[in-house]
């Protein structure tokens, strides 16, 4: 449904805005732009402050105007940050990239395969599986953190890479999105044609259907990437060894030590700033994919 509607609306949309019958009153235009301007300040000023603070030396931070540059010390700060405590910050960033990158990649693959099967094949138990998965969407991930800890401790497997990595592979919402998208974008005729050509079901999925589902797959990947990157409770409860920390947990522990070790404050600020750059870049560069997929979940 979505797939058929979207091209049409994007084609007619500009027409509506350009030739929009009577001219809107100047007052409403001004009011609208004021709301947009104020909102932009609200959303961007905190990030601007974080950037400015990252460029300041420890003595300038707090003693100079918060929203404008003092001496530009960004690269000196970065150097100090990555050298502090044997380079543990880089280790955290790397951990986050592996947890979120590999976790989202595998998680998206599994969710896509499952959602695809639920959409494209008829078999007994299909609705049951889908409903259980849908129930899983409503079960909060944080409610699982403690029981997961208890289960992993049965096998002495807490405080390991796997104790954080494996649970984050499961994305019920990804299955839900994949099913909706597979139903809408992979025509049954195409699958029949592939069958007549003698292609196996699995090969058809990886060579034909996967390509048709690309916008959905990018969406699922990105949102799972964000979910894992932002995850806090599970690593907090599972991990003791700071070499296994993701960057969020690492910065959290630093921030709670600021009162004992004041010089660490600069590292918290600059570390926080550097840690959000990869996600912003990922979102901006992939936006033409995920914006199409974002609405899919709500259209049904």
Partner 1 sequence: MTTTIAATAATPRTKSRRVPIKHKRAILFFIAPFAALFAVFYLLPIGWAVYQSLLVVERDGTFGAPVEVFGGLSQYVLVFQNEAFWASVGRVLLFGAVQVPVMLGIALILALLLDSPLVKGKKFFRLAFFVPYAVPGVIAAIMWGYLYSPNLSPFAAFTQQFDLLSPSTVLWSIANVVTWVYVGYNMLIIYSALLALPSEIFEAARLDGANQWQIAWTIKIPLVMPAIVLTAIFSIIGTLQLLAEPQVFRSFTSSVSSTFTPNLAVYSTSAVPNVSLAAAMSVILAIATFIMSFAFLKFTQRKADK
Residues within window 156-195 making contact with partner 1, judged by CB under 8 A: 166-167, 169-170, 172, 175, 187-189, 192
Distance CA 125, CA 151 (A): 28
What's the distance, CA 51 to chain centroid?
Answer: 22
Q: Does 270 bind partner 1 (CB under 8 A)?
A: no
- Regarding 90 and contact with partner 1 (CB under 8 A), the answer is no
Q: What is the enclosing helix (H) or strand (E) of 152?
A: helix 141-154
- Spatial separation of the C-alpha atoms in residues 7 and 5, rounded to whole Å: 6
E-strand stretches of the chain:
none
CA distance 253 to 246: 11
**Is residue 259 within the footprint of partner 1 (CB under 8 A)?**
yes
Q: Which region among 57-65, 77-85, 86-94, 210-218 touches partner 1 (by CB under 8 A)?
A: 57-65
Q: Does position 229 bind partner 1 by CB under 8 A?
A: yes
Work out how close the CB of 15 gets to partner 1 at its nearest, in angstroms, rounded to a whole number.
8
Residue 88 binds partner 1, judged by CB under 8 A: no
With 0-12 / 13-18 / 19 or more C-beta atoms within 10 angstroms meaning exposed / middle / buried, residue 103 is buried
Interface with partner 1 in residues 13-52 (CB under 8 A): 13, 15-17, 20-21, 24, 28-29, 32-33, 35-36, 39-40, 42-44, 46-47, 49-50
Report whether 217 contacts 225 (CB < 8 A). Answer: no
Stretch that binds partner 1, among 62-70, 79-87, 210-218 (CB under 8 A): 62-70
Asked if 128 interacts with partner 1 (CB under 8 A), we say no
Task: By CB under 8 A, name the one of 81, 104, 217, 268 that touches partner 1.
Answer: 268
Binding mask 134-153 for partner 1 (x = CB under 8 A): -xx-xxxxxxx-xxxxxx--
Closest separation in Å from C-beta 86 to partner 1: 22
Supply the angle between the helices 214-230 and 88-120 in degrees, to the nearest 10.
140
The yes or no reply on residue 86 touching partner 1 (CB under 8 A) is: no
Cα–Cα separations (whole angstroms), residue 54 to 43, 58, 97, 137, 230: 18, 10, 22, 38, 21
């Amino acid at each position: 449904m979505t797939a058929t509607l979207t091209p049409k609306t994007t084609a007619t949309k500009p027409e509506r805005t350009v030739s929009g019958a009577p001219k809107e009153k100047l007052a409403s235009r001004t009011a609208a732009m004021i709301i947009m301007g104020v909102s932009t300040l609200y959303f961007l000023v905190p990030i601007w402050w974080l950037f400015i603070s990252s460029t300041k030396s420890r003595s300038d931070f707090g003693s100079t105007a918060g929203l404008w540059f003092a001496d530009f010390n960004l690269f000196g700060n970065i150097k100090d940050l990555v050298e502090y405590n044997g380079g543990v910050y880089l280790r955290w960033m790397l951990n986050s990239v592996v947890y979120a990158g590999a976790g989202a990649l595998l998680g998206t693959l599994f969710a896509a395969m499952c959602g695809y099967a639920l959409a494209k094949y008829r078999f007994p138990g299909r609705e049951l599986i889908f409903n259980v998965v849908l129930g899983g969407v409503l079960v909060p991930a944080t409610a699982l953190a403690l029981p997961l800890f208890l289960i992993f401790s049965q096998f002495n497997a807490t405080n390991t890479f796997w104790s954080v990595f494996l649970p984050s592979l499961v994305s019920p919402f990804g299955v839900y999105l994949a099913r909706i998208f597979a139903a809408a974008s992979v025509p049954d005729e195409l699958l029949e044609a592939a069958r007549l050509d003698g292609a196996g079901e699995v090969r058809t999925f990886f060579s034909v259907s996967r390509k048709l589902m690309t916008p959905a797959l990018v969406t699922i990947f990105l949102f799972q990437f964000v979910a894992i990157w932002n995850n806090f409770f599970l690593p907090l409860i599972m991990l003791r060894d700071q070499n296994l920390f993701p960057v969020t947990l690492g910065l959290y522990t630093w921030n709670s030590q600021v009162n004992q070790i004041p010089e660490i404050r600069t590292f918290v600020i600059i570390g926080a700033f550097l840690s959000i750059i990869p996600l912003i870049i990922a979102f901006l560069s992939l936006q033409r994919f995920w914006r199409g997929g974002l609405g899919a979940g709500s259209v049904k």
